[in-house]
Each structure stands twice: as C-alpha cells, then as structure tokens.
Amino acid sequence: MKAFQFGSPKSLEQVTAYLAGADGDVRLMGGGTDLLGEIKEGTIQPDVVVDLKAVPGLAFIRRDADGLAIGACTAVADLAADPDVARDYRGLHEAAAVVASPQLRNMGTVGGNLCQRPRCWYFRDAATVCNKKGGSQCFAEQGRNKYHAVFGGGLCWSVYPSDLAPALIALESKVVVASPQGERTIPLAEFYAPPIVNVRKENILSRQDVVKEIRVPAPKKGDRGAYVKFMERGAWDFAVVSAAVKLTLAGNSISDVRIVCGGVAPVPWRLKAAEDALRGRTVSESAAAQAAARAAGDARPLAENGYKVDIFKAVVARAVLAAAKG
C-alpha cells in the first residue's frame, strides 16, 4: 500500500480549503468502510485522505416544518434507530436497518453510503483496467456477470450498491454539496450519473465537492413507504435487487407513486413505466404485478443474470404492496 497523508480538518471550511489547495489524489473519508477497502485492494492509491468524522457538526438528524435534515457523517445505525424516521419515513428506516451489518452501520456514514463505489469484481481487482478505471472494455459484459446490471448497462454493467440511495430518491430528497466556491443543493435523483455521462464515476461530484447534508421533504397526508431488499445470503449482504416505494393513497387509490431500485443498474434506477401503470389505480396484487412486469420489459440481462429479472418483478410488486399496506 502506498503511504498517504492523513488530514483531520476541524471545520467544513478547512475541508474545502484542503480540497482547493491539495496536490495529488485527495480522498474524503467518512467511516472508511468502503474507502479503506479500496485502498487495501489497490483500486485507488490516494496521496491524501481527509477524515470527515473529525469535523464537528456533520453528524445530526434534525426535524423541522420542511422535513428532515441528515448530516453527511450521521452513522447509518443512528438513522436506522431514529424513532421519527421510523414513524414518518418507513421506507428509509427499513433501508437503513438492512445496510450491511451492525458493525458497518455503526462505522458507515450516510454520506459515505451515498458516495460508495460499485462492488463489481472486475472494478475491484487492481490488475483489471476496465472502462471505469480508464480502460477500453467492460469485462463483465462477456465475462462473469451473475450480479451485474439488467438495466442501463453498456459501457459499464456494475450495479449501484447503496440501500439508502433508492430510499432517499423515492422520497424526493436533495443533497447539499459544499465546495470552495460555496454550497449548492441538488435533487438526489440528479446526483447520480449513468456511465454514458461519465463511466469513471457514479455521481456528479467534482474532486472539490463534499456532501454536507441530505434534506428529505416532510411527508404529506396519505404518504406511505417501504423498502424491500432481496439478498443472496440472509444478512450482511448487498442487494441482488432492492426496491424503494413511496406512494400517496387517496382512499384505496394510488394518487402518486415513486419507485426506485438498487442492485439492478449502474445507478439507482427509477421505474417511471411502473409508476405510470400504478397512478390512479386501486391497490391490488394484480396492479402491483402488472406494473412490475411493465418495468421488467426494459430489462437487458446478460448471460448469467437473467434470474434477476424474475426477482426484480417479485421485489417491486412486494414493495408496492408493502407500502400500500402502511
């Protein structure tokens, strides 16, 4: 492992000043549960690692009339344990509660969860230079692709592994980004960028940007949510397929709905066709199954991952019904 400098700034201003002034490859660290793995695997060789957890005031969960504000360094475990989140944002609570293991939820931060890198075994292999690392090929496309994307592939067939991202996008959350130039607020849905935009990274952050906080709008009357995650193992595993649903019920009819999946595409994957199929319909098993089947029509599985399409249909339909049940 290459030696690197370790920066412990004491304010966000110091972090952004660090990013503006530093030479070489500078990486931000929340809990380090992903970043340190990348360094140890040799996927990245930073010159400087900046410890965000040393910065006071970045770990908080606050409620006000506008909704919820979550600091980037809030532990995933604290989000999962928050009683207001469990009551008002069920899908987010369910997503946080199934991230990794208790140890990783204690160390891992919300900001780090949203900025984590994909788990594709070719990308994580230091000796394999795929498109994502500046090469000219996605090795998964013709190689071993059991866990890879069934939507949005092409230049890269990795899947986005975060459990929190689909749940927060379904809730129409925004992300506050700090940089040496100041702060800006971006819808989380626009924070992720597909490989066609930039195959080297999954989000639109520049090297000088820091995720500062996430804002989740206050729930409206009739809003309900759920998060369903299918894993190969019973626990401590990434999603093979996950689905976050937020829907608004007027009586037994769905007046609005957002569905976002994890584990199926290089970025969190919104199911607009399924949403259109559900809007205005009465909640039922057949409506949920038809909507899921409509979304699955766009799937383009590879040689080894066709099984994911059936799981996708079941997970999406279950998440819709779980959300409607409240």
Q: Where does this chain bind ligand FAD (CB under 6 A)?
A: 27-35, 37, 52, 72, 76, 99-100, 104, 107-109, 111-113, 115-117, 161-163, 205, 210-211, 237-238
Residue type for position 4: F
**In 3-state terms, what secondary structure has residue 214?**
strand
In the bound complex, what is the minimum distance in angstroms from residue 33's beta carbon to ligand FAD? 3
Adjacent-strand bridge partners of 62: 69
Written as one string, the DSSP assignment of 158-187 is: -----SHHHHHHHTT-EEEEEETTEEEEEE
Angle at 76 between CA 74 and CA 79, to 5 degrees: 75
CB closer to ligand FAD out of 192 and 238: 238
**Which residue from 11, 9, 205 is spatially nearest to 112, judged by alpha carbons?**
205
12 vs 277 by CB, closer to ligand FAD: 12
Q: Which is nearer to ligand FAD, 210 or 323 (CB)?
A: 210
Nearer to ligand FAD, 231 or 293 (CB): 231
What is the layout of strands, in order, in the sheet containing 48-51? 5-7, 48-51, 26-29
What phi and psi values does residue 275 have, to the nearest 5 degrees? -60, -45
- For ligand FAD, the closer of residues 109 and 248 by Cβ is 109
Smallest distance, ligand FAD to C-beta of residue 164, A: 6
CB of 100 to ligand FAD, least distance (A): 3
Shortest Å, Cβ 172 to ligand FAD: 20
Q: Which amino acid is at 232?
A: E
Beta bridge partners of 20: none
| Closer residue to ligand FAD, CB minimum distance, 34 or 141 | 34
Shortest Cβ contact with ligand FAD: which residue?
A: 112
For the CB of residue 294, give the shortest distance to ligand FAD in the complex, in Å.
27
Toward ligand FAD, which CB reaches closer, 111 or 254?
111
CA angle, corner 203, sides to 3 and 267, nearest 5?
115
Q: How many whole angstroms separate alpha carbon 218 and alpha carbon 225?
A: 13
Instruction: Find the farthest-apart pair of alpha carbons in the chain and give their distance in angstroms, rounded.
Output: 61
Q: How far is the CB of 287 from ligand FAD (least distance, A)?
A: 29
CB of 46 to ligand FAD, least distance (A): 9
Q: Give the Cα separation of 317 and 293 in Å (integer).
A: 9
